[in-house]
Amino acid sequence: MIVIGIDPGTTTIWYAVVEKKWNEKILLDYWVIHTTPKIDLKDKIMEISNDLESLINKYMPKRVVIEKLFFTTNLKTGIDVAQVRGVILYKFASIGVEILEYTPLELKSAICGNGKANKLQLQNAIKIFFSLNQIPKPDDAADAIWLAYMWILKKI
């Protein structure tokens, strides 16, 4: 079973692809979808939609986990990210992929037992769980990896 974890944004959308084979969990890929800087949101949304289509065709996921929107200061950025999330949700829902959504607090609580865990703790845990040579960078990549991984474990 292949699961994609997504940490959404408007300029960068981090994703991770994790596969579960029997009791083995394999980190297949993690990277970022970049959009062209300083273009209209509608154009960014089209770029994101096209890149998601390629990602879906390449991995044919059964499940996707997307981070819920959480913001406190910049309402405009929050609204833009919400629109991007809508496109992401639509792309996966339209092909029947199961979708779960979690807040950063829920993610950190499930992994570290503490919703205030820092990014470095998450990165180090991933390094251990997937036997990586180094921590995944940047920290948004770690969030996407954990989202995919935790769905497989069904801990959240």
Domains by residue range for the chain, with CATH: 2-153 (3.30.420.10)
How confident is the model over 112-128, as pLDDT tens digits? 777 777 888 888 888 88
Are 115 and 109 a contacting pair, CB within 8 Å?
yes
Catalytic one among 29, 139, 140, 143? 140
Catalytic one among 29, 47, 67, 143? 67
Q: In angstroms, rounded to a whole number, what is the distance separating the alpha carbons of residues 145 and 3?
A: 10
| SS3 of 57-125 | HHHCCCEEEEECCCCCCCHHHHHHHHHHHHHHHHHHHCCCCEEEEECHHHHHHHHHCCCCCCHHHHHHH
Are 15 and 6 a contacting pair, CB within 8 Å?
yes
Residue ranges for the chain with pLDDT beneath 70: 70-74, 152-156
SS3 category, 132: coil
Indicate if 67 belongs to the active site: yes
Indicate if 43 belongs to the active site: no
Indicate if 140 belongs to the active site: yes
The whole-model pTM stands at: 0.89
How confident is the model over 90-105, as pLDDT tens digits? 999 999 999 999 888 8
